[in-house]
Amino acid sequence: MSPKTPYTPPPASTIDILAYYAVTRPEHVAVLEDGVAYRYAQLYLDVCKSVTYLRSLNLGENPKAAVEVKNLYMHLVLTLGLEALGICSMSFAANEAASIEPIVQDFDLVLCTAQDAPTQSKNTVILDQAWATMLSEQSPEQPLIQTRFAPDAPYRIIKTSGTTGSLKTLTLTWDMQNRRLRQFQFLAGMNDATRYAVALGFSIQAYHTHCTACLRAGGTCIADSRQPLAHVIQQHDASHVTLIPHALIDILDRLPAAYQKPTNLRIFTIGAQVSASIRQRVQDRLATSLIESYATNEAAYICTMQADGIGAILPGVDLEVVNDAEDPIYNQPGVIRMRSETLIQGYRDDPATTKRMFKQGWFYPGDLGILNQSRILKLIGRADDQLNIRGIKVAPQPIEEAILNAFDFQDVGLCMVPDADKGDKVWLAIVTGGKDKMTEAEISAITPKLTPLLPSVFGATQLVFLDRIPRTATGKIQRDVLRKALRDLS
């Protein structure tokens, strides 16, 4: 007789954990939104109702569903219901409805409140008041019979554009999601006392992961659309919040003089570097701890960063800096490549970009850096962002950071703009905050301090004042958009 294969229980799902909390701590608040408290018992009950509804749709085998609803609690109820049924989900924002039309063509279900709802899916449901009433009247499926994901089954579809410059989608498997949750928990240290202030929606995958981590730890997710985030943090004694740097700067600029600094707030930043001056303002006025990360949607977290773009590579991440011959190099600039247990293996339906960005198990995020033998990485900038000045390539990010540290500007951006007489010329776009231009006298006053920060190879740099620098949802400068705007001005 052949020996029996020992039973290996599947890893606990978020649904399993919520069911446990619904029994052991039913009155603990899971979600606090716009002053309404939803406790763990209520959350689990509403997820069971959503399962009853979703199961009635008979979506078939291996379905995919997209969800758009601004209300945090309802978004959680729906995505958790989809998870319980083993349905791969994607979140999007109302203003993305048109851009995701090509993506949802093969989706089996779109649940949305958007007026201009995507029409290409097999089944689009508008989440209006009648629908909400119908859902509330569903009988909860109890006991809830889960359809568990296989480790390599698609769990979430993620939208990304920061690394490749155009909209792409990635498939996150169930196993990969669990690895990313463990990685974030290593950084965040969430527990049942965590109070996570939710700044943006689940269309940015990091917020979905962070909210899920908070609920799995037994904490409370907080959202309040009625007041500024800084007041939400203070009023509800938030312990964690995730922000893109541009949003962080906006919060700091709007803080009242009498604002009392929270006593136990940890801020995570994603998407772009935080300048030393902003880091100091955060520590002085807003947070007890700031964790800046170098991360991508393709790989999750790679490094935790300190000031000046210097970071420590996380455990479990294998990172190299290579030269043009793909040879690893130390203490000199090169192209970053990495691999880890949280790395996906390519883009959906885009073999050309996959071939360019993923090579022999390595992911090339398109960034430049300097690595030393102690696994300390200094980020220089993006390879495709470099300013090519008569054959000399210059990374703009360190210069932009130095300018932000030296001046009280709200934002800055460098790019090359075609000049009919002299070829491409360096332009520096400045957002002063509160004014769209500076007088000749003001420009003359800042020039002695600004000039040493600009490499001599720039030559005569054109200054221009804008009301905003175009950035992606995660805070990266959209240089093509900026270049077009400046070209139109010229």
- What does the pLDDT read at residue 229? 96
- Inside any domain, residue 245: no
> Across residues 315-341, what is the average pLDDT?
95
Are 156 and 118 members of one domain?
yes
- Which of 327, 350, 383 is the last residue before a domain boundary? 383
pLDDT in tens, 154-194: 999 999 875 555 688 999 999 999 999 999 999 999 999 99
CB contact at 8 A, 23 and 40: no
Residue whose pair of structure tokens reads 């900038």 in the numeric block: 381
Domain total for the chain? 3
pLDDT-derived band of residue 273, with 50, 70 and 90 as boundaries? confident
Are 127 and 220 members of one domain?
yes
Are 415 and 369 members of one domain?
no
- What does the pLDDT read at residue 391? 67
Are 379 and 412 members of one domain?
no
CB contact at 8 A, 229 and 251: yes
Are 142 and 175 members of one domain?
yes
- What does the pLDDT read at residue 421? 60
- Which of 194, 226, 258 is the last residue before a domain boundary? 226
pLDDT in tens, 390-417: 667 788 888 888 898 888 888 899 988 8
d(CA 211, CA 76) in angstroms, rounded, equals 9
Nearest alpha carbon to residue 418 among 396, 438, 388: 388
- What does the pLDDT read at residue 371? 96
Are 27 and 168 members of one domain?
yes
Nearest alpha carbon to residue 230 among 267, 204, 183: 267
pLDDT higher than threshold 80 for residue 76: yes
Nearest alpha carbon to residue 51 among 153, 130, 144: 144
Per the model's pLDDT, the better-predicted residue between 404 and 37 turns out to be: 37
- What does the pLDDT read at residue 72? 97
CATH number of the domain bearing residue 319: 2.30.38.10
d(CA 468, CA 108) in angstroms, rounded, equals 39
Are 405 and 332 members of one domain?
no
d(CA 183, CA 341) in angstroms, rounded, equals 10
d(CA 429, CA 409) in angstroms, rounded, equals 11
- Inside any domain, residue 119: yes
Q: What is the pLDDT of the chain when averaged over all its residues?
A: 90
The pTM of the full predicted model, rounded to 2 decimals, is 0.84
pLDDT-derived band of residue 456, with 50, 70 and 90 as boundaries? confident
- What does the pLDDT read at residue 64? 96
pLDDT in tens, 80-130: 999 999 999 999 999 888 888 889 988 999 999 977 777 666 789 999 999
What residue type is assigned to position 107 of the chain?
Answer: F
Are 322 and 394 members of one domain?
no
Q: What percent of the chain has pLDDT over 70?
A: 95
- What does the pLDDT read at residue 11? 82
> Across residues 36-42, what is the average pLDDT?
98
pLDDT in tens, 118-165: 766 678 999 999 999 999 999 999 999 999 999 999 999 999 875 555
CB contact at 8 A, 207 and 198: yes
> Across residues 441-446, what is the average pLDDT?
81
Are 60 and 154 members of one domain?
yes
- Inside any domain, residue 261: no
CB contact at 8 A, 472 and 162: yes
- Give the up-direction half-sphere exposure of residue 385: CA atoms within 13 A in the CB hemisphere: 27
CB contact at 8 A, 465 and 436: yes
Are 311 and 439 members of one domain?
no
pLDDT in tens, 212-223: 999 999 999 999
d(CA 433, CA 411) in angstroms, rounded, equals 8
> Across residues 342-354, what is the average pLDDT?
92
String of DSSP letters for 366-392: SEEEEE-TTSEEEEEEEGGG-EEETTE
- Inside any domain, residue 271: no
pLDDT higher than threshold 90 for residue 29: yes
- Inside any domain, residue 360: yes
- What does the pLDDT read at residue 121? 67
Strand, helix or coil for residue 483: helix
CA–chain centroid gap for 390, Å, is: 35
- What does the pLDDT read at residue 405? 83
Nearest alpha carbon to residue 68 among 114, 130, 118, 115: 114
Are 378 and 408 members of one domain?
no
- Inside any domain, residue 185: yes
Nearest alpha carbon to residue 467 among 415, 430, 426, 428: 430
- Inside any domain, residue 9: no
CATH number of the domain bearing residue 442: 3.30.300.30
CB contact at 8 A, 188 and 350: no
> Across residues 424-430, what is the average pLDDT?
89
Are 362 and 393 members of one domain?
no
- Which of 339, 361, 383 is the last residue before a domain boundary? 383
Q: List, in order, residues 6 or more apart from 156 with CB less than 8 Å away.
A: 88, 89, 90, 171, 172, 177, 205, 208
- What does the pLDDT read at residue 268? 95
- What does the pLDDT read at residue 334? 94
String of DSSP letters for 116-185: T----SS-EEE--HHHHHHHHTSPP-SS----PPPTTSEEEEEEE-TTTSS-EEEEEEHHHHHHHHHHHH
Residue 304, beta-bridge partner list: 293, 312
- Inside any domain, residue 335: yes
Ranges assigned E (strand) in 323-422: 334-340, 358-359, 362-363, 367-371, 376-382, 387-389, 392-394, 411-419
d(CA 327, CA 308) in angstroms, rounded, equals 26
CB contact at 8 A, 410 and 449: no
CB contact at 8 A, 338 and 302: yes
d(CA 404, CA 451) in angstroms, rounded, equals 14
Residue whose pair of structure tokens reads 């009242």 in the numeric block: 256
pLDDT higher than threshold 60 for residue 436: no
- Residue 422's domain comprises 386-489
CATH number of the domain bearing residue 184: 3.40.50.12780
